[in-house]
Structure formats: C-alpha cells, structure tokens
Structure 1
Amino acid sequence: MPAFSKIALFSSLIAYVSAQQAGSVTAETHPGLTSSVCTRSGTTNTCTTKSTKVVIDGNWRWLRNNQANQYNNCYTGNSFDATLCPSNTACAQNCALEGSDYSGTYGITTSGNALTLKFVTRSSTTNVGSRVYLMDTDTSYNMFNFMDSNSQEFAFDVDVSNMPCGVNAALYTVEMKANGGLNTANNKAGAKFGTGYCDAQCPHDLKFIEGSGNVEGWTPSSTDSNAGFGKAGACCNEMDIWEANSISNAYTPHPCKNIVGVSRCEDPVTCGDGSNRYAGVCDKDGCDFNPYRQGNHDFYGPGKTVDTTKKITVITQFIKDSSSNLVEIRRAWVQNNQVILQSKNEWAGIGDYNSITDDYCVKQKSVFGDNSYFVSPGGGLVEMGKSLARGHVLALSIWADHAAHLLWLNSPYPVDKDPSLPGVARGTCSTTSGDPNELINSAPNSSVTYSNIKVGQLCSTFPSGVTIPDSLCGGYIPPSGKFLQAPIRIP
C-alpha cells in the first residue's frame, strides 16, 4: 500500500486475527454497499447499480478454539496459543474465524453507496483501524479488470475532511483470489470471512497465508502490542488508487515480477526484507504521483484547488496502447461541478507530466535519487497491466503506520534529508507526527467516507453536467500526437 514503508501494521487493541476455519458462534452478515458499472454510447452515459457488499478482513476477527463448546482464543495480544497453534498446519486446523459486529465493534457503517470507516471504536473493547473488501456475493469478492475492452476508468467520492496527519485512508486493488483462497490447504472460511489478503509489501503480519499458518518463527512486534511477524509473507501485485488524508494524497502502481496471484515468500531475499528491499519479487516503492511531492504545494489540502474540507470525486484512468499494454495512469478530479486536471510536475529534469507513465517514472526516480526498481526489466506499467487484466479485489481501509508514521505520504521523508531537495517534502505534516499510539488518544474520532464507486469506459463515470477536456476521453496519445480513439466531450 504505502510507496515506501508498508510493513502494514493494522493495529488492533483486541485479539482479532485472521483464521482458516469457519466459525459458527456469531453469524456473519455483510453490510450492503452498492456500486455501479458504466458504459457510454454516443453522448449518453448509462450506469447500472450492483448490489455489492463489504466484508472485513480476517485480521480483525475473533480467532477461537474450533472444538465444540470451546471459546478460548487462539491468539491473544501478539502471541499464538502454543497448545492450539504448535505449527502452521495445526493452527489452521484448530482455529476458527468468527462473524463480526461491523458497527458496534469496528465502527464500519454503510448506507446505500456510502461506506464510513472510523479510526478508533470503543465498546466493550477498543478497535483501531479496519480493512474491508468489496464482494459480489456472500462468498465471492467483486473482481475488477481495468484492462477489459478499451481503456477503463474507476471513480469514487471521498470525504477526508476528518483525516489528520498520520492517518491514512487507502483505497486500492490487489491480485487476490475471488474466493479468498477457499479450500486451499486448510482454508474453510474463504471470502465470506475476509481471507486471502496479499500485497506488494509481502506482509509478514498475516497469521495465515494460502490456507497455512504463519505461526512458525512468529515474533511479537516491539511497537504494537497486538501485532507480530511470521517467517512468511504474502506477495502480490498492488495498485494503490488512493492513499490520502486531508493534507496529502498519492496514487502508486506496485508491480511484482514473475508471480501470478498470491505468492508465499519465506526467505528475506524473495520477500524483499530489510536490506533486500530491491531484490524481492515486488516493487515496494512503486512509482507514485503525489502533487505536493512533485512540487505543487497549492493543489491539494484544506482550502486549496482540491479542497479537502469538502467531498471530492476522484477519477483514475487506465490507458492502453494499440497493443493493449498499460501505458499511462491518469488522475482527474471533480469538485463544485467542475473538472480539475491533475497538477503537473514542477521539478526540473522530469518534465511537465501530470500522469504516471514509464518515462515519467524513469525521470522521477533519477531526479529524486530513488531506486529504479519500478522501471527495471520485467516491471513497469506493462507488468502492472498484465496483473490488472487477471483481475483485482478492491480494498478500502483506514490505518496508521507503526513502521514510518506515514511520513512517506504527508511529511518530509527521509527525515535526515534536506526538505528543499526534490522529492523529499511530501506534505506539511511534522516529522514528529504520525505515531499510532499517540493518534489513538489525540485523533480517535478520525474517519473516512467512501461513496459512489463506479467503473466503466473512459468518461462514463464522471458526474452528469460536467464538461471534460477531450484529452481525458480520447485514450492513449502516442508520439504522433494523434488520438487512438475519437475524443469525446461530455455535455
């Protein structure tokens, strides 16, 4: 998820972790969250509503002894029960994942096409953060293919007015299995219980990967009393469509090399751990576009061109060339019934790009002094496009960062570099902000609302009544400067 340091530590102050057996103590009822699929014919847009729903990730659930009439925890604090989980296989067989109280325990509510996630929810327990997935049915995730047919776009509305420094509202897609890995090894829970997660950070904090436990070699976290790290990681391609709070935002493709779907890694080199960051199978940095980082400090934030005190419509376009390769990822905005084009890069040596292309990434990495893993052989947008064509699951979350305090998104980072250097400053937040343990007390009421999720042909998902520049509706513009598709103007 994050471009620089998502050893994604989704903190919870209660013993809710992922599991493999399907529990029967608490019924699992998925909150409804409608979404839309849109098409365009001539000058007419048609959007069809789908009765989709959401499911919370297994990382937040009660993991209990699966034996009849037994209710003791398989995982408490940041440790597994040694009797129930002596090995990876035994833990997956002995432990059951239970149903959830979405609003009461996790602060997750839906209404029509809107989803609200609260940062801290206090009831008889205290829960911090959450991650949910969009579902087609009660047993299957909704699969998105942004490479289907001609170039595609994805749109949603978001309210980040209540998202301060250090708290991340993330909407992104990962190459998970539609059924959540049901019946893989000992996984009897599947998508119904939110199993099967993976991302480009090859996260080690998952308790189960592909139906097998991650118990062996488990080490409790030194900064989070409810998290830990196993020997194995779960790697897969990831498209960060939206990582943001009220101060900064970024979108970032994270391709992986030579893997399809979920890939379990068990050695530091393959996982890209520590000093092996750029030797692993996935690009953990990715290639990001953050308007502030690209030199425009007046574009996004409270009272700025994109005003984060108000609801925002965010449109992301996935542009293919004549060979059906992904060659560009564009960003556009709508606010106050006006289309706002993405701001342009302002650093010398990169060019006036306002979208992500391989050429932009080559120049950005060079000027910023970042590692060029993204554009090395076997990576880049072409590889990202291949993954998107296989289908991705949509994840929506709110979280805080125990590893780097979210400085990579909204502050000068790395902290030992001069903020005036290209690419160092990513937002106006202090380098001392973002400690999750402090945010739980200082900003517990932080929340994000996502709504009006749409996918469809270019220019089919924009709100009615707005006029869109032809450059957003005409597809890929090759070096010849001519559109591969006829430009369209929305009336």
Structure 2
Amino acid sequence: MYRALTVASSLLAVAQGQLVGTQQTETHPGMTWQQCTAKGSCTSKNGKVVIDANWRWLHTKTGLVTGQDISYTNCYTDNNWNTTLCTDNKACAANCAVDGADYTGTYGITASGNSLQLKFVTKGSYSTNIGSRTYMMRDDSTYEMFKLGPNVEFTFDVDLSNLPCGLNGALYFVSMDSDGGLKKYSTNKAGAKYGTGYCDAQCPRDLKFINGEGNVEGWTPSSNDPNAGVGGHGSCCAEMDIWEANSVSTAVTPHACSTIGQTRCDGDSCGGTYSGDRYAGLCDPDGCDYNSYRMGDKTFYGKGKTVDTSKKFTVVTQFIGTGDALEIKRFYVQGGKTIANSNSQIAGVDGNSITTKFCDQQKQVFGDTYTFKDKGGMANMAKALEGGMVLVMSLWDDHYSNMLWLDSTYPTDKDASVPGIGRGECETTSGVPADVESKSASASVTYSNIKLGPLNSTFG
C-alpha cells in the first residue's frame, strides 16, 4: 500500500538510467517457474530475474581515461542529482548511463533453480544496499507477462521466518510494459534488460527516470531517507498485491486504476503515498485488502499459528470469474494440509475472499475511503489481470509509515479495538527504518516454486 524502496550507497550511486554503461556485465540470474494445464501436469519455464533500474549505478556515459583506468562521475549521489549533468529531465537522459548489476555481491540477490532469495542489507565492496525490487523475465530483454484470468490460479512458496516487524516481503503484479518502455520512449535505451519502466498504484514519484526522461525537475530529497527523494513526475498503473507480508501479518490487496497501463502523472495530482493529496490520482492507493488480523482473526497467521510463519508454506491465490463478479480467493498449504483463508469476524462484513460485496461491506464498516470502487473496482482489476502483468518480487522497509499499516495499529492515534484499526501485533513504535536496518540487517525472504494454471491445477 505505502511502497517506498531505497538503497543506501557510498561510492555507488543509484538511479533509473536510460543509457547503458559497460563497467559491469548485466547477467540475469536464472529462475524457473511452472505453467500448469491440469493438476499434476505442469511444464517448467526458464525465466530470468532483473533488478529494478532505480538500484543501479548511474554515471556519465563516458569516463575520464587516466593511464589504464577509467573514472566516471556519478549522476546521482545519496539523494541528490548532479546539477551539471542533470540540468533538466532531458539532459539527464542524454548524459547518464545505467550500469549492469552484481546481483549477489552488491544486492544480496541469489537465484537457484526455482527459488529466489532477497537479503535485506548487503555490504558490498563499494556500497551498503538496502532491500531490492526484482522482475521475472521471459528472456534477456522482455518481462514475462502473466495473464491472471479469468479462472486462473497463481501459487508460490515463501519462507519469511526471519522477516520481523517493519519489513515487507512483497510479491505482486503490475501493468508495466513488457519491454520496460523501450519502444514507446526513444530516449530509453536500457529497457527491461536493465529493469526500467516501473509503475504501481501509488504512482511512485521516487523513480529517477520515467518515460525515458529523468525525474530531476522538482526533485526534493527525502527528509528521513538519505538515499531517496520525490520528483515532479510519478508512474501509475494497476497493481495486484498477491502478497505483502512479514512473519507477523499479511495482506492480499487489489488496487484498481482508471487507466490500467503505465501512465506518467504530474506532481501532487499523482496522488498516492508520495503526494499531498493521497486520493488525487488515476489509481486507488488503499486497495480492498484482506488481512486476517484486521478482519478479526488474531490466531490465524503468525509464528505458531494456523499458518505457521516460522516455517515455509505455500500461498495459493485464485481469480474466479471476471468483471464486477471477479472473486479473489486465498488458500494456504502447509505440512501437507490445505488451509482455507480465515473468515471475517467483523460484524457486517461477510466471507473469506475479496469480492465486490466484501469491498462494499468492508469500506462501509471500517469507514475507509472507497477509491477502489471510484477507479473501476473489480471490473478494472479484472481487465488488468487478464491483459497480462509483470511479476515483482521485492523486500523493503517503509520510510513513510514504518509498515504500521500492515502489521500494527494504524492510524496510531486510533484505538486498536475499533474495527479496521488493528492490523497486527507489532508495537506502534516498531518499523522505524533506521532501527530495522541496524537490528535486522540479516533478514531475508525466499520465494520459490512459482506455478500458474487453471483453477485447482497448481496445488493439492
């Protein structure tokens, strides 16, 4: 819901570059997933993983040669742009190149077979990296486009046993362009190969490049994140949060947008987390979420609970029907047992799946702003799902609200006993990024065994 991802750096700088550097070869880690046609009938696909361009070193397109050494000038350092190289958005795209990634050494990303591990803090030779955002690729220049309906299920295994309060191991889908905007924007020379083109329902304005141009004009460095800021543009698109979770709480949340595909927005009219008016944009920033704890069942999810987060388990999400009648249904599998999602224990809200009726009831009972319906609700979500979406696998901490919206009492000035306010057992003082980054540096999440197929084909 309130996504903000950052990377700390010293000698390396980070930005979504549009030209391509040559200092580090870009070799995408391989990761397999399975396409199923019926239960027990699945075919392995050889996917690849790419890290988002926002994490990469951004430097001058040509370096200064001294003897046998070549030195480059950073286009972006800490949370500031180089004002000589990046006098405006177009100049930045013309002067700056994004480079390849050392996935394991710099970013703590390790792919093996059908699994992907993301480490939270990685101390490399030149930098300290915080979190990551990665995408599944079909090949070295194209994102895999997953079609999630109608009547499709998506399944994966997750180990988040060492993700404490304040962290979010998120696996979700967004309506990005399959080539990262390479064809649409002539100044984008990097494309999906270098992780460009991100968008989501928060219309994020912390992206360094959008639509093949820099985001330097109007850039304001963050007051509490030494590596990030907010620019004059954002990047919007529909988002299906299959999984936002740590070992304490989890939520599944569709976010509808009035315009489904990647669209650039301007300033506070973007809405979302990064803007003064949260509800001003094309997209629904809150979504219609199902968090078992928030829906009244405090015994269902967590360490030692029905779904025991101290051990690996399987997450199954079904997309049943289409249009306004779309139903998003959740199961878990652990220890050989299939576990139905917990039922709502909130008076006036029925069921254990996300439907138009559930959203109508929940928003009314909780008194939440209902932008999900305003932006097209289940009908627009179904269009996005069926049109094909890019799979995102990430790990992040939250410089805007300390992840309290996921795992604590939120808003913090409300009584946790009021329906909809209690979202998890974490203290309201938890999740401060500086604390999480120092005390939980060794945290990690592992996603594995991804499957896509018709209903009831990927589990059981």
2-side partners of 1:28 and 1:267: how far apart?
33
Q: Which residue of 2 is the match for residue 266 of structure 1?
A: 266
> Partner letter of residue 130 of structure 1?
S
Establish whether residue 56 from structure 1 lines up as the match of residue 51 from structure 2.
Answer: yes
Q: Partner of 1:426: helix, strand, or coil?
A: coil
Identify if the C-alpha distance between structure 1 residues 432 and 105 changes in structure 2 by more than 3 Å, giving closer, same or farther: same
Question: Which residue of 2 is the match for residue 449 of structure 1?
Answer: 446
Please list, as runs of the form range in 1=range in 2, the aligned pairs for 1:160-175 lying within 5 A after superposition. Answer: 160-175=160-175
Q: Name the counterpart of 1:484.
A: none
Residue 210 of structure 1 and its aligned partner are, at CA, apart by: 1.1
Identity %: 55
Matching residue's letter, 1:33: M
Listed as ranges, the matches of 1:228-377 within 5 Å are 228-257=229-258, 259-272=259-272, 274-321=275-322, 327-351=326-350, 353-376=351-374
Q: Distance in 2 between matches of 1:65 and 1:431?
A: 43
Matching of residue 34 in structure 1 with residue 32 in structure 2: yes
- The answer to whether structure 1 residue 199 and structure 2 residue 200 are counterparts is yes
Residue 34 of structure 1 aligns to a residue whose secondary structure is strand
Residue 112 of structure 1 corresponds to which residue in structure 2? Answer: 113
State how far apart, in whole Å, the 1-side matches of 2:57 and 2:41 are.
Answer: 42
The CA distance in 1 between the partners of 2:147 and 2:23, in whole Å, is: 36
Matched, 1:211 2:209: no
Query: Partner amino acid for 1:405?
Result: N
Aligned partner of 2:383 in structure 1 is: 386
**1:84-163 pair list within 5 angstroms:** 84-124=85-125, 125-147=127-149, 150-163=150-163
Provide the secondary structure at the position in 2 that maps to 1:136. strand
Alpha-carbon contact 2:132-2:396 (below 8 Å) kept: yes
Q: Which amino acid aligns with 1:129?
A: G
The runs of 5 or more residues in structure 2 that have no matched partner are: 65-70
The one-letter code of the counterpart of 1:45 is G
Output the CA distance in 1 between the equivalents of 2:338 and 2:414. 36
* Cα distance, 1:9 vs structure 2: 3.5
Q: Is 2:15–2:209's contact at 8 Å kept on the other side of the alignment? A: no
Hey, what's the Cα distance between the residues in 2 that align with 1:213 and 1:94? 10
Q: d(CA) in 2 for partners of 1:428 and 1:109?
A: 31
SS of the residue 1:449 aligns to: strand
Is 1:397 aligned to 2:394, yes or no?
yes
- In structure 2, the partner of 1:424 is 421
User: Does the Cα contact within 8 Å between 1:18 and 1:58 map onto a contact in 2?
Assistant: yes
The more displaced of 95-104 and 15-24 is 15-24
Aligned to 1:77: 78
Q: CA deviation at 1:294?
A: 0.2
Q: Does 1:227 align with 2:223?
A: no
Shift of 1:123: 2.1
2:381 and 2:156 map into 1 onto residues whose CA distance is: 21
Match of 2:9 in 1: 13
Q: Given the superposition, is the C-alpha separation of residues 284 and 110 from structure 1 closer, same or farther in structure 2, using an over 3 Å criterion?
A: same
SS, match of residue 91 in structure 1: helix
CA distance in 1, matches of 2:5, 2:51: 16
The one-letter code matched in structure 1 to 2:386 is A
Counterpart of 1:350 in structure 2: which amino acid? V
Indicate which of 428, 431, 436 corresponds to 1:434.
Answer: 431
TM-score by length of 1: 0.89
- Are the aligned partners of 1:57 and 1:194 in contact in 2 as well (CA < 8 Å)? yes
Deviations 1:36-93 (A, max 9, x none): 10011xxx53110001010000011100100254511110111111111111001011
Count of residues in correspondence between the two structures: 449
- The worse-fitting range, judged by mean Cα deviation, of 275-284 and 386-395 is 275-284
Structure 1: which 5+ runs fail to align?
Answer: 467-491
Report Cα offsets for 1:210-256 as digits up to 9, x if no partner: 11111101111000111011010001100000000000000100010
Query: For 1:195 and 1:254, how far apart are their aligned partners in 2?
Result: 21
Q: CA deviation at 1:10?
A: 2.4
AA partner of residue 428 (structure 2): T
Kept in 2: contact 1:326–1:384 (CA 8 A) = no
The CA RMSD measured in Å over matched residues stands at: 1.3
Tell me, in whole angstroms, the C-alpha distance in 1 between the residues paired with 2:268 and 2:194.
29
Please give the secondary structure, in 1, of the residue aligned with 2:326: strand
Match for residue 68 of structure 2? none
Separation in 2, partners of 1:279, 1:61: 30
After TM superposition, the score normalised by the length of structure 2 is 0.95
Cα deviation 1:140-196 (Å, max 9, x = unaligned)? 00001112xx50000000001010000100000100010011141310000000000
Secondary structure of 1:196's counterpart equals coil
Could you tell me how far apart the structure 2 residues matched to 1:399 and 1:253 are?
A: 19
- Alpha carbons 2:7, 2:55 under 8 Å: kept: no
1:100 deviates by 0.6
- Residues 234, 270 of structure 2: 8 Å contact kept: no
Query: Which residue does the alignment assign to 2:188?
Result: 187
Whole-angstrom distance in 2 between the partners of 1:325 and 1:285? 18
Q: For 2:218 and 2:186, how far apart are their aligned partners in 1?
A: 20
Aligned partners of 2:238 and 2:256 also within 8 Å: yes
* Cα gap change, 1:380 to 1:170, in 2 (>3 Å): same
Distance 1:388 1:412, change over 3 A: same
- In structure 2, how many angstroms separate the alpha carbons of the residues matched to 1:437 and 1:233? 26
Q: CA–CA distance in 2 between the matches of 1:317 and 1:392?
A: 15
Q: How far does residue 278 in structure 1 lie from its aligned partner after superposition?
A: 2.1
- 1:12 to partner: Cα distance: 2.5
Q: Report the Cα distance in structure 1 between the residues aligned to 2:271 and 2:425, rounded to whole angstroms.
A: 32
Superposed CA deviations along residues 248-279 of structure 1, whole A, max 9, x for unmatched, are 0001000101x241110014234456453223
Q: CA deviation at 1:389?
A: 1.9
Secondary structure at the counterpart of residue 31 of structure 2: coil
